[in-house]
A and B are shown apart, each in its own frame.
Chain A
Amino acid sequence: MKNYRGAVLLMVPGIGIVLAFLVLPLANVVEESFRLFEPGRIGAAKDAPYTLFNYAELLNTNYLYYFVETARIGLIASITGLILGFPIAYFITRRLRAIWRKIAIGFLVGIMFISTLIRVYALQLTFGPTGIAKILSGLLGVSMNGRFYTELIVIFGLLHYLVPIAAITLLGTIQNINPRLSEAAQALGASRWMAHLSITVPLCIPGLLSAFLISFTLCLSAFVVPMILGKGKILFVSNLIYARFSEISNYPSGSAISIIMLVLSLAIIYGVTYVVSKRLVKY
């Protein structure tokens, strides 16, 4: 009993901080999302009546477009990030000597500390009109101001931080798999690829799932990448939220979009976790 009370007391500061800095602001956003906005004002008036209008207007099918586009581009970037990150993690874990492994991991961690703005503007300089946009778009047979090229650059921007994160997340997973399992499969006649695909990759599914969820969550909340590289033509939901709050001061509508996005993100993450853990992870 005494230990229990002590544990509760130790948790009080943490719970207090969560309540003050997470729950309270979130409750404020929920409350604001039900307020009626009067155009021309800055946010809702203190005595503004409650309404469902801010949610109802999001039922317009054209708003669904933004949620679908955010999820679609996020999905492409997350899966591509995993495809690129997995071999990097495998190579670092299984092929490098200890000293080089430390250097490689340090490099990946270092990349993650580079400011997003620096990465994004570096990409814009390189693949934008001052860089090789004309050459690259010419090689691809598309317009550098067209939708395809712009979307491609946005995905590059997302990959810039997804690949290191995916690789770092997978390092531990691959490290923990006993290489003798794969060797045993090869001893029994499986080719190296077959052994890799049928032994190593399935054993990595929990790690791959974690890496995917981290990547996908980052994509869903991405703001700077689509804002700067999307040329105003590719807008994520976070950009809509920003415009509502910062450009037109419609806090109630911005709050409603934020709440919808939060609920959808949680639903997607829990859904994917459930499906993968129940159906795919058998080990």
Chain B
Amino acid sequence: MMKTNLTRRELLKAAAASGVATATMSFPFVNALGSSPLSVVDWGPPWIDNTKKIAANWGKSDINWTLHSGGAASILPKIKAAWPNPPYDLVDNWSPVFLSMIREGWAETVTLDDCPNLADVPESLISKDADGNWKNIPRGTSGVFFTYAPDNCPIEINHIDDLLSPELNGQILWPNPTLNTNLQVVALAKARGGDEFNMDPGWEFLVELAKSGNIGRVSANTSDVITSLETGETCVTFVDQGTLSGVKGTKLKHLTKTDESLKTMLFVSGWVVLSSSTNKELAFDLANYTINKENSELYYQEVGEVPVNGTAEHGIEHLRFSGEEAEKYSVIPDWDHLGKELDGWNKRFETDVVPLL
């Protein structure tokens, strides 16, 4: 029988030595993996599902995922609170929020060396700072427009004034001003002869709508929209194409090219690499990978936005406007103006509209 003479002191020495050895050996391995996982902010499904699938194929880093909660601008105070060390590298966002991030100096400049696939993207879609530097990596263009579920809706909607029909009692899902940067009231203003610089006609229309009792719910996020339309709680709303991709079980009719009173607001969505990021190279690499031809087509199929990569194919007919149709039915709003007015519009919604609901 083998006899062991291991004392307690020897055991402790051996444990300490093996601990040091393990730690020493693991350092190069850790360094090879990269300093820390990439931190990506994205919207809920379908966006995050699509990005996760693409990131899994990319596979160059672990990723910590964060979801936008509420409107896309709600990430801004979180970045502000933690600046200059926010825990994010790459943020998925859209036109109005790009401008706020550029204004704050948070968006890293992008070049073709960082993202070679931007060569296939029209330069007009890329947000720029005052010096003309590129500040984002666009992924898709899309629209925000009125849509309704014909099977659940008591009337056919052909004109903006149909929203005031008494038959639509409690059937309208109205986005609050922080969703879509209040484009819904810009759309109402457009229908009554105003625009984003003259919003009074739009607010008067919305007050009429609130008084009519037709607004059944005020949506505050994408899941509100999907749940409300899927369950038949409401049947009409003003929403972006990406969110509608999450509505699977309810047939919808998109009112993008039906009447001049029902306008579609066009925007760009995509990535911003934060200037504070310590993982810029990886962040640019992932952003670049998401906009190659194959992934742009996947983005169209799963998220439903028109990919900005000119080589990618898509078939979103209701967002494909001819020159004449674009003139009649679509609007490209002044995003900078919208961003600056949102505070006042939100207060006006609180004081003039909510008490009537």
B76 touches A62 (CB 8 A): no
Contact with A along B326-357 (1 / 0, CB 8 A): 00000000001001111110110011101101
B340 touches A65 (CB 8 A): no
Is B176 on the interface with A (CB-CB < 8 A)?
Answer: yes
A233 to B170 Cα, complex, angstroms: 12
Instruction: Write the chain B residue with the least CB distance to A131.
Output: B231
Is B100 on the interface with A (CB-CB < 8 A)?
Answer: yes
A143 to B172 Cα, complex, angstroms: 13
A250 to B73 Cα, complex, angstroms: 12
Dominant secondary structure at the A interface? loop
B170 touches A248 (CB 8 A): no
A208 to B216 Cα, complex, angstroms: 37
Given A40-B339, A246-B70, A130:B170 Cβ within 8 A: no
B103 touches A40 (CB 8 A): yes
Is A115 on the interface with B (CB-CB < 8 A)?
Answer: no
B100 touches A40 (CB 8 A): yes
Residues of A within 8 A of B74 (CB): 246-247
Q: Which of A120-140 contact B (CB under 8 A)?
A: 128-130, 133
A62 touches B350 (CB 8 A): yes
A57 to B217 Cα, complex, angstroms: 27
A246 to B74 Cα, complex, angstroms: 5
B76 touches A249 (CB 8 A): yes
Q: Which of B231, B347, B352 interacts with A130 by CB under 8 Å? A: B231
Contact with A along B91-113 (1 / 0, CB 8 A): 00000000010011000000000
Dominant secondary structure at the B interface? helix
A245 to B215 Cα, complex, angstroms: 26
Output the least CB separation between A223 and chain B (Å).
Answer: 13
Instruction: Write the chain A residue with the least CB distance to B342.
Output: A248
Residues of B within 8 A of A245 (CB): 77
Given A39-B343, A129-B233, A246-B77, A232:B220 Cβ within 8 A: yes
Is B136 on the interface with A (CB-CB < 8 A)?
Answer: no
Given A37-B343, A39-B343, A248:B80 Cβ within 8 A: no
Is A144 on the interface with B (CB-CB < 8 A)?
Answer: yes
A235 to B220 Cα, complex, angstroms: 12
Given A145-B216, A247-B71, A249-B73, A39:B233 Cβ within 8 A: no
B354 touches A235 (CB 8 A): yes
Residues of A within 8 A of B357 (CB): 147, 232-233
Is A209 on the interface with B (CB-CB < 8 A)?
Answer: no
Q: Which of A62, A235, A250 interacts with B343 by CB under 8 Å? A: A250
Q: Which of B104, B178, B351 interacts with A42 by CB under 8 Å? A: B104
